[in-house]
Amino acid sequence: MTALSHIRNFSIVAHIDHGKSTLADRLIQETNTVADRDMKDQLLDSMDIERERGITIKANTVRIEFTAKDGEEYVLNLIDTPGHVDFAYEVSRSMRAVEGSLLVVDSTQGVEAQTLANVYQAIDADHEIVPVLNKIDLPASDPDRVAEQIEDVIGIDATGALLVSAKTGEGIRETLDAIVEHLPAPKGDPDAPLRAMLVDSWYDAYLGVIVLVRIIDGTLKKGEKVKFLSNKSVHHVDRVGVFRPEMEQVQSLGPGEIGFMTASIKQVRDTRVGDTITHQKSEVEALPGFKPAQPVVFCGLFPVDSAEFEDLRDAIEKLALNDASFSFEMETSAALGFGFRCGFLGLLHLEVIRDRIEREYDIELITTAPSVIYHVYMRGKDNEPGEMIELHNPADMPDLTHVDHLEEPRIKATILVPDEYLGDVLKLCQDRRGIQEDLTYAGSRAMVVYDLPLNEVVFDFYDRLKSVTKGYASFDYQMTGYRQDTLVKMSILVNDEPVDALSIMVHRDRAETRGRAMCEKLKDLIPRHMFKIPIQAAIGGKVIARETLSAMRKDVTAKCYGGDATRKKKLLEKQKAGKKKMRQFGKVDIPQEAFISALKMDG
């Protein structure tokens, strides 16, 4: 067991693609934690999707042993956290498990929206923060400007910010020394009853659920019985260990240490991030801040080939083993067949799950439009307020005559954008029913804060934002609660049959525009048939937009006359004579039957 004074626990926080995973790799390499022959790019990002997108999806931990300038041996526990807003709760729990943070900022790009979001979480967790300016080897690097920006926007003293190039290894030794000198040692009592924070968990086919823990007080040993306070479940500890970054068993974990335990736990759902673990017979107070992760975005996943439904069920169940925040239930659509209604932490989480199903299980998917959770307040008796139901799927919207009002989730969105694109961003937010709350400047960049409805954001807001700013804007948000608004369910009818998978909740003022756009899109996508197909958008019984897909017409000259040139010529002459007669009639209103009989008589 390492002395508390010689332990440093820290996380690396940054915006996406600012180089935090590369910096983690260099810290591991500099301390010879992993042999050079075993080193590879993005050592801690093990998933293919993480490497392709250049993002961290799953928080990873590694124990580093480092000899400081004073000759003392220190144990550094590093947690490489995700940078995306979808995994904000996982980041917040990781922050509570450590005492300090390295704030990594790209010295060519400066402070971004998710830099702000994550560093504010670190400040809330009372962290000591060490600023690190990365990518100083690039020609566009401007450390002085970025350091000034950190002070202006975040309010952290950046005069002694570390200048680092994680790619070349420059400044890595200085970073390790700064971690030992500036970050505080953890506190804890080894003789007190066990209190451990559950930082993360994932499923292993051989060991069951592996639980990542931070020991606050007491000692955790192999063979002990432990209790999870959230569900009162009791488990027998099979092994305890640390990550270097491979799993390595140890005799015990003491206060301030971060490691893992296995206890033959079958499901990740039984191990909730942020939970408190103690000995079976101990009575301790739960650690503050625990709450289950709640899905905020829902959509339907259907196999393109209906014969692959059972394969899709197996794939989703296996993914759910490893991801407690991913929820699913079976649903049936008249248009798409059997599938699943799935809940996600956000759009990135949705994309990651969908990509994993398609790649790892080779199942081609149809994804319905994402929607959010609405609060539907029903009418009670004698004008009293009725019950509130949560609406996950617009197709399940009850009859409006029984509904008193609806509430939609709202978010606080923070957007950092170069000054020249500010007008386009403000217009985009206004078009999405946003309410401006704040607008400040940091040099040539504007930081605008908007109150936005979440359902407008999950549709295509991020793509539109990147488009109008040529990719220079950064965006982050956090949930703020629910607010009443004029929302309606818009149904799409194809050939007078409602297609439940295309039902969406829209604001009444925008329903006609959205309905017309969907009808026009469907007209281009649906193949033509031998009969006309009406495509309609409707609110209740009122049609608000319509397009008609015309019937497929026969090529009479080619098909009916078998390619005979003489007969073709006669038919064309007959058509020509008919058109001539029609011109002679001019503006006179002639019944269709009469016109057809006149043509026949002429023939």
What CATH number did the domain enclosing 448 receive? 3.30.70.240
Report pLDDT for 347: 80
Strand bridging mode 445-453 / 403-418: antiparallel
- The answer to whether residue 363 sits within a structural domain is yes
* H helix intervals, 154-239: 172-182
Query: What predicted TM-score, i.e. pTM, was given to this entire model?
Result: 0.71
- The answer to whether residue 32 sits within a structural domain is yes
- The answer to whether residue 157 sits within a structural domain is yes
Q: Which residues contact 539 (CB under 8 A, 6 or more apart)?
A: 488, 489, 490, 491, 508, 511
386 and 497 fall within a common domain: no
328 and 450 fall within a common domain: no
473 and 463 fall within a common domain: yes
111 and 141 fall within a common domain: yes
Strand bridging mode 252-253 / 220-221: antiparallel
CB 415 within 8 A of CB 474: yes
CB 190 within 8 A of CB 255: yes
Report pLDDT for 499: 83
Report pLDDT for 588: 35
494 and 451 fall within a common domain: no
Report pLDDT for 53: 55
- The answer to whether residue 288 sits within a structural domain is no
Report which secondary-structure segment, H or E, holds 522: helix 511-525
Report pLDDT for 600: 38
Distance CA 116, CA 93 (A): 17
CATH number at residue 265: 2.40.30.10
349 and 465 fall within a common domain: no
168 and 85 fall within a common domain: yes
CATH number at residue 531: 3.30.70.2570
Q: Of 279, 306, 327, which residue is a domain's last?
A: 279
333 and 476 fall within a common domain: no
- Establish whether the linkage from the previous residue to 418 is cis, with ω within 30° of 0: no
13 and 124 fall within a common domain: yes
- The answer to whether residue 494 sits within a structural domain is yes
Total tally of structural domains belonging to the chain: 6
CATH number at residue 156: 3.40.50.300
CB 449 within 8 A of CB 413: yes
140: domain range? 4-182
* Helix-then-strand count for the chain, H and E: 14, 32
Report pLDDT for 59: 62
Q: Which residues contact 290 (CB under 8 A, 6 or more apart)?
A: 230, 272, 274, 275, 276
Other C-beta atoms closer than 10 Å to the C-beta of 95 total: 24
151 and 31 fall within a common domain: yes
Q: Which residues contact 390 (CB under 8 A, 6 or more apart)?
A: 373, 374, 375, 376
239 and 221 fall within a common domain: yes
- The answer to whether residue 341 sits within a structural domain is yes
- The answer to whether residue 419 sits within a structural domain is yes
Report pLDDT for 310: 93
Distance CA 529, CA 226 (A): 65
Q: Of 120, 152, 182, which residue is a domain's last?
A: 182
- The answer to whether residue 418 sits within a structural domain is yes
88 and 37 fall within a common domain: yes
Q: Of 151, 182, 213, which residue is a domain's last?
A: 182
Distance CA 457, CA 453 (A): 7
Mean pLDDT by 10 residues, the chain (603 residues): 84 80 85 70 54 58 86 87 67 82 89 78 86 91 89 84 89 91 90 88 85 91 89 89 87 90 84 86 81 79 89 88 80 83 84 88 87 87 78 85 88 88 92 91 84 86 84 81 90 87 87 90 85 90 91 60 62 72 43 35 36
